[in-house]
Amino acid sequence: MAESLLALRDLRKHYGGLAVTDGVTLDVLPGEIHAIIGPNGAGKTTLIHEITGVVAPDSGQVVFAGRDVTRLSLPRRARAGLARSFQITSVVAGFSALENVALAAQARAGSSFRFFRPAASERALNEAAMAALSEVGLADRAAVPAGALSHGEKRALEIAIALATQPRLLLLDEPLAGAGPEETERLIALLTRLKAAYTILLVEHDMQAVFALANRISVLVYGRVIATGTVAEIRANAEVRAAYLGEDDA
């Protein structure tokens, strides 16, 4: 087996008496889209927060590219190449799509752009931002204020912002949330294109999208991974079906 780009080792997190992450061990392999699915309240958001460094686990390890990053701060993890697609709330509505992406590129590049003179630095940042916008199909919307983009375009912009940080792992937290059928189709096409170039950890409720995109799926229920496998394996897994049927019955 290829060495994992991201390895979670027996991660645990309690809130009071509630085990929200209950011994999660999971490997994201280079080049795959690894989806995490699970019923509401399964602990997906908390797990993403433990990976990015927003929440510290009680015990266990987060190993990224062979390095134990469990105790690293969020910015240091981001600099190591862990990028989360930002929620639209962090996008500045009055700034153009290009400016929003350039801001993210600047935050990532930090000191390296200081070697350039200001004008050259701005040009380099804008070029990096344009490249990220092109990757998500928003090049012709670069000058449009972020607040005037359609919902689907905003979701694509969030992804461009993450790409501008040149991630080694892209964490996508419900990229299809709130998208209509047409937008969903376009976003799935975008994620299919990105799949060729990036390793992606995807948290998504839309099962059709997950089945279309994922190489492997891990199913989280009450803070535990009850199954990891290919799409076919997960669809055929009796325990997974029971967990979801249980949710539907509720």
Ligand X SMILES: Nc1ncnc2c1ncn2[C@@H]1O[C@H](COP(=O)(O)OP(=O)(O)OP(=O)(O)O)[C@@H](O)[C@H]1O
The residue from 7, 20, 105, 200 that contacts ligand X (CB under 6 A) is 20
Identify which of residues 49 and 186 has a Cβ nearer to ligand X in the complex: 49
Do 97 and 144 form a contact (C-beta atoms < 8 A)?
yes
Identify which of residues 20 and 164 has a Cβ nearer to ligand X in the complex: 20
Amino acid code (one letter) for 84: R
Binding flags for ligand X, 54-93, as an x/- string (CB under 6 A)? ----------------------------------------
User: From CA 216, how far away is CA 155, in angstroms rounded?
Assistant: 23
CB of 220 to ligand X, least distance (A): 7
Residues across the chain: 250
CB of 20 to ligand X, least distance (A): 4
The residue from 5, 34, 46, 141 that contacts ligand X (CB under 6 A) is 46
Count of residues engaged in binding ligand X, rule: CB under 6 A: 11
Asked if 23 is part of the footprint of ligand X (rule: CB under 6 A), the reply reads no
The residue from 33, 34, 37, 43 that contacts ligand X (CB under 6 A) is 43
Do 142 and 130 form a contact (C-beta atoms < 8 A)?
yes
The residue from 11, 24, 42, 170 that contacts ligand X (CB under 6 A) is 42
Asked if 40 is part of the footprint of ligand X (rule: CB under 6 A), the reply reads yes
Please, what sign has the CA dihedral across residues 188, 192, 198, 202? positive
Binding segment toward ligand X, per CB under 6 A, in 35-43, 75-83, 224-232, 240-248: 35-43
The residue from 8, 22, 38, 70 that contacts ligand X (CB under 6 A) is 38
User: From CA 118, how far away is CA 185, in angstroms rounded?
Assistant: 40
Other beta carbons within 10 angstroms of residue 118's beta carbon come to: 9
Asked if 45 is part of the footprint of ligand X (rule: CB under 6 A), the reply reads yes
Do 6 and 53 form a contact (C-beta atoms < 8 A)?
no
Please, what's the b/e burial string for 10-48 (b: 16 or more CB within 10 A of its CB; e: otherwise)?
A: ebbbeeeeebbbbebebbbbeebbbbbbbbeebbbebbb
Q: Which residues bind ligand X (CB under 6 A)?
A: 15, 18, 20, 38, 40-46
